[in-house]
Chain A
């Protein structure tokens, strides 16, 4: 395989060997693993096309990969074969400031898009927590969100046109720099497709004006229940903040231990609220804070300048990193519920964690109802990882029961293929599978993800799980 691909690309663009196998056997979802035979590093759409054609001729599975920050195993080469890394496709090809859009290769890092547009007062709005490393291609395939999607929308609303190498190697360009035209929106199917319909190689994205005015506050509540009730009340008030993020007691503990951050002693939960706009937003923030106080807020800190604002955001941005102080292993889940069901859902999460005897911290996009329960434990204790995986699935079923979804931003990948697949009726499943027929999907393109239907996926589930323990 290495020899064959070295003829298609240059030998330095093909990686193999045990270090490669270990590095690329999973993404940031580490519970399941499966090693590739080799990894290729194309530099252009045409090179990706040559690789996909070679894989088709040789019947070898291929899996696209950006920065490997995915949290559901989407970049894991489930049936081995070739990992197509976009690492060397990181160029910004064109910045069209007057038309507020930008063309970049799939491997361009999210934050670099905003940096390229910043001098003109513009930015690329999707801001997943991984934005300093995650790539445009990964963001498109996972339809990434972030704290500011409450107001600005997820990646789908910011991608105008994408170039993709289809499963059999054809190059297609979907969408237009002028959005929402009469062409059927095949681009809507590509965004969020988790790399199962082809390999996105470049895209035009929308650039959004940076807000002229920003107001940020960190509000402390006695417990997570009053904080979640405040979230509902804020949105019922008719205010749509740019961000509305929640951190619970355990996150605060981790932040105190890891970074020496200080919070009011009697605080049981924090809400980070940000309002922004073209006009001053102090009134908007005031109405949010009034609602918070009415919901039982015990402390309010409003940022007076940019430095203070960055400091308030530290609590949100460093939360997951701080979790490392609590236990050696962390597994972050992702589920969505109508936000009015947040209090009920959080209670269920705490109950599950205590039932299996592990810790759980919650740091999440409260405004979107997008929960990220983060279990912390010691995976060297036999049986723990199995219990955590099982509890995660029960949480997802609870999300469905409350009318929500099994994933708000991490994707189905391999992690949730089972639990999501079981929630579909035969007709729902047919409707999903129809999408694959439109794009002529073969069994070779990122197999065993989203809706596993390739031979070997079921047997291999055991192998992945085996490799992880």
Chain B
């Protein structure tokens, strides 16, 4: 039996599931409920195909980002992320697995030039109400249907987890330098804040526990909760989040539609 089928079966047997990739972003999530089974996505890993001429890679969700970057580099391509060894994990987007990268859609030190993981996702095979379903297309441009795959980025595996994805890659030659500054290693779980250019300086001055910041994308990383700006958003430890426009009603509606059994924790 294929790994993905075994994975789907294992998930189907458990009424409550917490998916785990490499665990690099675990501090951002609420603790899983007690009746919940943790299942690793690393059983569904591996690179399916690399096409540098098309700037595309197809990969299983459990694949390590570090492994993917090594493989892409042999083709002169990369995901536009900074190297965690050089810049620290925060500015590298806390990379673990590809599935985790997309599920969290966290900013990185290259966000202002290259966007977030959501921008690179072209096609996804997802696990939707127990079935394998596809959305998007394996081309760099597509407007057929609703962009469900883009919506699922940043939902932390709570709606319909990624199984296999196709991402747009960036030629290494076209990678831009970063304006981000790394100050120190984080001592405690990290907070991430982004705000408007006109508010960033004031936020930066008032922030304690700074780990890194990037003026180009008006983002900062700190291990103390930063002051709440007038506009923007904050992502913090244990599922704490603030935004100037959270839509709890529609998000609840989406959770009920995508995960009516409340399986994904």
Contacts and interface: CB of A to CB of B under 8 A. Distances in A.
B142 A408 contact: yes
A295 interface: no
B139 A405 contact: yes
A352 B159 CA distance: 43
Given A178-B244, A434-B258, A99 B251 contact: no
B154 A182 contact: yes
B150 A368 contact: no
B218 to A, nearest CB: 8
B185 interface: no
B153 interface: yes
B3 interface: no
Chain A residues touching B, majority SS: loop
Contacts of B126: 431
A455 to B, nearest CB: 22
Interface in B120-179: 126, 128-129, 131-135, 137-148, 150-151, 153-155, 159-160, 170-174
B91 interface: no
B245 A184 contact: no
Given A183-B233, A437-B257, A189 B151 contact: yes
B196 A408 contact: no
A176 B128 contact: no
A182 B148 contact: no
Contact of A336 (B116, B134, B142, B197): B142
B232 A181 contact: yes
A237 B119 CA distance: 22
Contact of B231 (A98, A178, A192, A430): A178
Interface stretch (A6-14, A114-122, A142-150, A384-392): A142-150
A435 interface: yes
Given A176-B245, A180-B105, A411 B143 contact: yes
A100 B196 CA distance: 9
Interface string B39-74: 000000000000111111000000000000000000
Interface of B: 51-56, 76, 105, 107, 111, 115-116, 118-119, 126, 128-129, 131-135, 137-148, 150-151, 153-155, 159-160, 170-174, 194-198, 218, 231-235, 241-247, 250-251, 253-254, 257-258
Contacts of A153: 115, 119
Contacts of A431: 126, 128, 133-135, 148, 160
Contacts of B142: 336, 405, 407-408
B155 A184 contact: yes
Given A186-B250, A338-B138, A430 B107 contact: no
A188 interface: yes
11 contacts: A99-B197, A174-B250, A183-B245, A186-B254, A188-B118, A189-B151, A239-B173, A405-B144, A431-B135, A439-B253, A440-B253
The 6 closest A-B pairs by CB, nearest first: A181-B233, A238-B173, A238-B171, A405-B137, A188-B150, A182-B241
A202 interface: no
Given A173-B245, A434-B257, A180 B150 contact: no
B173 A188 contact: no
B133 A428 contact: yes
A154, A339, A437, most chain B CB atoms within 10 A: A339
A368 to B, nearest CB: 4
B147 A161 contact: no
